[in-house]
């Protein structure tokens, strides 16, 4: 049943399609937007359209950026000989919040999951292997502690080890089945500092 008319109901419906936004949250967001100054609503809409048009993958690490190279890959202050492999850009952001990792990243955009039909060719492994032909000393595998994350870590380890590059895995402290983006910085830092060679 429609309560508010087509436009407001349509906005609530569209907001409800966002991940993690239920019907009540969508309604709250819609009413918040209605009460915002018109200029702020226009800025929000413009930012959303621009992000969608201009965001692409970094040509080196495959994270999301609006430039050819993301700020991390472009930085000369980062240790480009150490690559941390993560499943998605949110995991990269979680490690950056610790402020203690000075290497670079590689974003896989997923994990190997035979049950879901996701194989090694469906994630950004080829790009990683190309990077390993450069001056790389260590690859830190920081995939989630889920079945898919562990499967991906073991696959990467077997793939990289013959190259002679040191391969490490983040240590315990990250709960099994937990997603990195929801874990606090202290736990992530302990996991990073306690990593072990595979």
Query: Out of 1.10.8.420, 3.40.50.1980, 3.90.340.10, 3.30.70.260, which CATH number does the structure's domain 6-39 have?
Result: 1.10.8.420
Percent of the chain with pLDDT over 90: 71
Mean pLDDT, the chain, integer: 89
Q: Give the separation between CA 24 and CA 12, rounded to whole angstroms.
A: 9
Domain ranges of the chain: 6-39, 77-197
Q: What is the dihedral of CA 27, 29, 35, 38, to 10 degrees?
A: -130
So what's the pLDDT on residue 123?
A: 95
So what's the pLDDT on residue 6?
A: 81
Q: Give the separation between CA 120 and CA 110, rounded to whole angstroms.
A: 10
So what's the pLDDT on residue 1?
A: 47
So what's the pLDDT on residue 146?
A: 81
Q: What is the CATH number of domain 77-197?
A: 3.40.1360.10
Q: Give the separation between CA 57 and CA 14, rounded to whole angstroms.
A: 26
User: Do the domains 77-197 and 6-39 match in fold?
Assistant: no
Q: Is 82 helix (H, G, I), strand (E, B) or coil?
A: strand
How far out from the chain centre does Cα 57 lie?
A: 12
Res. 55: pLDDT tops 60 = yes
The residue among 184, 93, 83, 185 whose CA lies nearest residue 141 is 83
Write the CB contacts of 36 (distance below 8 Å, at least 6 apart in sequence): 44
Per-residue pLDDT of 182-195, as tens digits, reads 777 767 776 777 77
Indicate the pTM of the whole model: 0.78
């Amino acid at each position: 049943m429609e309560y508010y008319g087509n436009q407001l109901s349509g906005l609530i419906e569209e907001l409800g399609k966002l991940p993690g936004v239920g019907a009540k949250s969508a309604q709250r967001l819609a009413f918040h937007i209605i009460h915002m100054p018109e200029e702020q609503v226009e800025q929000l809409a413009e930012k959303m359209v621009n992000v969608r048009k201009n965001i692409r993958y970094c040509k080196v690490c495959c994270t999301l950026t609006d430039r050819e190279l993301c700020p991390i890959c472009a930085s000369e202050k980062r240790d480009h000989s150490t690559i941390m492999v993560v499943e998605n850009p949110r995991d990269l952001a979680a490690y950056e919040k610790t402020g203690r990792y000075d290497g670079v990243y590689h974003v896989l955009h997923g994990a190997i999951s035979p049950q879901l039909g996701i194989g090694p060719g469906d994630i950004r492994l080829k790009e990683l292997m190309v990077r390993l032909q450069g001056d790389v000393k260590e690859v830190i595998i920081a995939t989630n502690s889920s079945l898919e994350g562990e499967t991906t870590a073991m696959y990467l380890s077997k793939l990289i080890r013959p190259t002679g590059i040191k391969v490490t895995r983040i240590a315990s402290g990250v709960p099994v089945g937990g997603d990195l983006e929801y874990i606090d910085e202290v736990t992530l830092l302990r996991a990073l500092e306690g990593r072990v060679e595979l």
